[in-house]
Amino acid sequence: MPAKKKFKPVIVETPQSQAAIRGRGASWSPANRFEKLHIDLTDADVVDVFREIEATPRPPTQYFRDGTKSIITRNTSPDVGFETSLNPYRGCEHGCIYCYARPTHEYLGFSAGLDFESKIIVKTNAPELLRAELESQRWQPQTLVMSGVTDPYQPIERKLRITRGCLEVLAQFRNPVAIITKNRLVTRDIDLLCELAQRHAAAVNLSVTSLDPDLQRVLEPRTSVPEARLDAIRQLRAANIPVGVMVAPIIPGLTDHEVPRILDACAKAGAQFAGYTIVRLPWAVAPLFEHWLEEHFPEHKDKVLGRIRHLRGERLNNSQWHTRMTGEGIFAQQIASLFKISCHRAGIGGRPTLSTESFRKSTTQLHLSL
C-alpha cells in the first residue's frame, strides 16, 4: 500500500486575534496556500478563545542558511525591464506590508505574513557562486539587478556583508549592476559603486514611497527614514554614481498625493531619473494589506481599497502583463500624467544605459605558441 502523506500543521494567527506589532509590518500569519492543514487560533474546538489575550510580543528575527547552488536568477516577464537579477536574501526584515514578494515565502513552507519578515534565508556563499557563474563561458555580459525580489540592504547586511561581497566580484569582472533599495546602507559601498560607475556599469535607485516619517514607520517599519534616503541620494550623486528614485509603490488614496513632493525632494537631493509602480496585492498580500489598513488607517480603508479595485478591474489584484505595474482606467491615467508632469517640473530625465564594454574575466588564459 502507498504510504500515507503526512501533513504538517501550520499555526495560523488570524486578524481578530492579533494587534499591531511595533517594528513589524504584518501582525499575523495567513494560511500558506500550499499547505493542506492549518490551525486557526480562534477556533473554539482547538484553542481556548476566551482566554485573556496578552499583548502580542514582537517575534525575533531568525536567519537560515540557503544551500542554493546558483545565484543568478533569470526571468522572461515581458514587463519587468531586466532579464537577470541577484538576490542575496529571501524574505525581508524591512517588513513593508505591501511587498509583492511576500507570497514567495510560501514556497519555503513559511507564511507570507510575519514569517516573511522574521524568518530570513541568507545566501552566505553568494559571492563565490556569482564568481563561478561570471567565469563560466555560458555567461553573456549583461546588467544584473540587485535585488529583483527582496532588498539587498536589509538590516542583517550590515553584519553579513553578502551584498558587498557580490559587488566586489562585480567590480572585479566590471559587470554592470543596477541596485534598488530602501536603505541608506547602500552608501557604505560607494567605493565599489564608484569604481563601476567610472566604466558606466552602475546605477542606484532609492525607493521612496512617502516623505511622511509617521506613515513610513508603520508602512515600511525597518527601512531607512525618508530623510536618510534623500541623504543617500545626495551622497551617491556627489560620488558621480548615477542615482534615481523609484516612487514605488504608489498607493492610491494614501500616498498618490505625495508624488510631486517626492520627485521634487529627490531631484533637489540629486536624483537624475525616476520610475513608479502601483501597489500590487497578490495572494496573501491582499488580506494582510486590508488588515493593516484597518489597524492604522480605518478612515481611509474603503477609499484606498475602492481605488485599487478601480485600477485592477474591480479586483484587488490583476496580474495581467503590462498593466499590473501601472493599473488601468481613469485613476491610472491620472497617476501617469501626474508622474510625467512632476518629473518634467523637477528636471528629472531618463534612465542611464549601462555598458558591458569593460567586462573582463577574472583570470587570463595564457596562450603559448609552439
**What grid cell was written down for 182?**
530602501
Please tell me the total count of domains within the chain.
1
Mean pLDDT for the stretch of residues 57-81: 91
Q: Give how far Cα 170 sits from Cα of 98, 129, 133, 243, 351, Å.
A: 31, 12, 11, 18, 21
Is 62 inside a domain boundary?
yes
Assign 46 a pLDDT band (cuts: 50, 70, 90): very low
Q: In this predicted structure, what is the pLDDT of residue 50?
A: 43
Could you tell me what percent of the chain has a pLDDT over 70? 88
- Residues 234-276: pLDDT tens digits? 999 999 999 999 999 999 999 999 999 999 999 999 999 999 9
Is 173 inside a domain boundary?
yes
Is 250 inside a domain boundary?
yes
Mean pLDDT for the stretch of residues 105-119: 96
> Which of 262, 221, 249, 220 is closest to 308 using CA atoms?
249
Q: Are 336 and 182 in contact (CB under 8 A)?
A: no
Is 351 inside a domain boundary?
no
Q: What is the 3-state secondary structure (H, E, C) of the chain?
A: CCCCCCCCCEEEECHHHCCCCCCCCCCCECCCCCCCCEEECCCCCCCCCCCCCCCCCCCCCEEEECCCCCCEEECCCCCCCCCEEECCEECCCCCCCCCCCHHHHHHHCCCCCHHHHHEEEECCCHHHHHHHHHHCCCCCCCCEEECCCCCCCCCCHHHHCHHHHHHHHHHHHCCCEEEEECCHHHHHHHHHHHHHHCCCCEEEEEECCCCCHHHHHHHCCCCCCHHHHHHHHHHHHHCCCCEEEEEEEECCCCCHHHHHHHHHHHHHHCCCEEEEEECCCCCCHHHHHHHHHHHHCCCCHHHHHHHHHHHCCCCCCCCCCCCCCCCCCHHHHHHHHHHHHHHHHHCCECCCCCCCCCCCCCCCCCCCCC
Q: In terms of residue numbers, what domain contains 281?
A: 10-346
Q: In this predicted structure, what is the pLDDT of residue 225?
A: 98
Sort strands 273-278 and 10-12 into parallel, antiparallel or unpaired. unpaired
Is 357 inside a domain boundary?
no
Q: Residue 188: how many CB atoms within 10 A of its CB? A: 16
- Residues 85-107: pLDDT tens digits? 999 999 999 999 999 999 999 99
Is 144 inside a domain boundary?
yes
pLDDT at 353 over 70: yes
**What grid cell was written down for 228?**
536618510
Is 366 inside a domain boundary?
no
Give CA–CA dist 94/217, Å, rounded: 10
Assign 56 a pLDDT band (cuts: 50, 70, 90): low
Q: Are 362 and 173 in contact (CB under 8 A)?
A: yes
Is 369 inside a domain boundary?
no
Q: What is the mean pLDDT of the chain?
A: 91
CATH number of the CATH domain containing 128? 3.20.20.70
Q: Which amino acid is at 235?
A: Q
